[in-house]
Amino acid sequence: MAKNAIVGQSGGPTSVINSSLAGVFESCKRRGAGKVYGMMHGVAGLLERRVCVLDDKLRNALDIELLKRTPSSYLGSCRYKLPDWHTPEGEEVYRKLFDILEELDIGYFFYIGGNDSMDTIGKLADYGAYIQSEIRFMGVPKTIDNDLMVTDHTPGYGSAAKYIGVVMKEIIRDATVYGTKYVTIVEIMGRNAGWLTAAASLAKAEDCEGVDMICLPEVPFNVDRFVEKVERMQQNKPSIVIAVSEGVKLEDGRYVCELADDVHAVDAFGHKALTGTARFLANTVARRLDTKTRCIELSTLQRCAGHLTSRTDITEAYQVGGAAAKAAFEGHTGEMVALDRISNAPYQCTTSLHPISEVANLEKKVPLEWVNADHTAMTQEFISYAMPLIQAELTPIYVEGLPHHIYLPEA
């Protein structure tokens, strides 16, 4: 009798993460899986035996299409760090997990996520090998941060970049209507890698002058020099728009947002919550210069704007889900699917497999050669890299003027 499969989603959602879920589900069913289970809220939910049978939820082609076009994590997410299984306490957690997987007759395990999720896959695959389990563990890449190693880009990034490019064009139009001195600082997600903030450069075109400054976490930040640049820019152009990463850091390693008085919580992986960078910088500029300022935090809108997804992104998200299922059924385990770019014009991309050890707990940064000498703008190399990822659209299915989604009500 055919083994069952199980799939979970972890970490921050994206607007196309459910397309990967659809890819895993459909590929598993085509390859003869018994049931396909979904973990409710990732591994944390699985430890509580919170699972659903996706066969009962995704019953027809319309459900699959709605799933592809529904943003955020259909199964729910978590930020749960698996302990080290070499300790007595840790091994107890793994024994419980593998007991649950055995009860469900699981042969194939898929986890859709970013760096921390790949860490989970690596640990489960290692423990599985240690106890000689036949379960195959595969990682499916997902993150708007675009910071996973070995893959050219990550599903989720293209749609977030598209949203940022669109919104920056609209903010620039709004910021210049009065012709008076005004500084608009837009805070964009990105802890240690500035891929999302770099996407603000996509706004520049024949119909838009683009942003005036881009600040990435890869470049050490100096508040005094930042204010001086703003002052110089306003001598030639009263109203300027700046894109700044939430994760910009001072030369001593502190995040700029830590200069404010806000309290910053820490998650299970030790990541400090970053917010308030744009507000701090806008207040600083207003205090030091004779100008009005405003701050805008795009926040979660960057990752859940299902009405502005890239068709390229949705297609590739589905593709990596299917490739992970194919690999698992062919005997692969402890690996992640990567996207390999073949060419930019025409844009072509394929997939490959890499050991989790090449991905987990590592970060891919924006190449500094893709930033101009003044560290204020992106070069053409970045534009050529990012532009193919935002192409085309997959329009939501609208009902009474609003996009229609598929969702699982909380039990």
pLDDT in tens, 303-359: 999 999 999 999 999 999 999 999 999 999 999 999 999 999 999 999 999 999 999
Residue 145 annotated among the catalytic residues of the structure: yes
Is residue 367 scored above 60 in pLDDT?
yes
Contact 24, 322 (CB under 8 A): yes
Could you give the CA distance from residue 359 to residue 7 in angstroms, rounded to a whole number?
19
Is residue 381 scored above 70 in pLDDT?
yes
Torsion angle, alpha carbons of 347, 353, 356, 357, to 10: -90
pLDDT in tens, 215-247: 999 999 999 999 999 999 999 999 999 999 999
Around Cβ 18, how many Cβ atoms within 10 Å?
Answer: 31
CB half-sphere exposure, 43, CA atoms < 13 A: 26
Contact 34, 2 (CB under 8 A): yes
Which of 145, 147, 212, 313 is catalytic? The answer is 145
Give residue 151's identity as a one-letter amino acid code: T
Is residue 7 scored above 90 in pLDDT?
yes
Give residue 411's identity as a one-letter amino acid code: A
Contact 152, 339 (CB under 8 A): yes
Could you give the CA distance from residue 382 to residue 371 in angstroms, rounded to a whole number?
8
Contact 140, 9 (CB under 8 A): no
Contact 156, 143 (CB under 8 A): yes
Q: Any idea which residue has 């090449």 for tokens?
A: 358
Could you give the CA distance from residue 248 to residue 383 in angstroms, rounded to a whole number?
21
Sign of the alpha-carbon dihedral angle for 81, 83, 85, 90: negative
Bridge partners, 353 (sequence order): 337
Bridge partners, 341 (sequence order): 349
Bridge partners, 350 (sequence order): 340
For residue 102, give the H/E element and its range: helix 88-103
Alpha carbon 224 to its chain centroid, in Å, reads: 32
- Residue 260: which pLDDT band, with cuts at 50, 70 and 90? confident
Q: And the tokens for 247?
A: 């994760």
pLDDT in tens, 15-56: 999 999 999 999 999 999 999 999 999 999 999 999 999 999
Could you give the CA distance from residue 320 to residue 213 in angstroms, rounded to a whole number?
35
Contact 139, 319 (CB under 8 A): no
pLDDT in tens, 125-142: 999 999 999 999 999 999
Is residue 267 scored above 70 in pLDDT?
no
SS3 353: strand
Q: Any idea which residue has 């703008």 for tokens?
A: 377
Percentage of the chain lying above the pLDDT 70 cut? 96
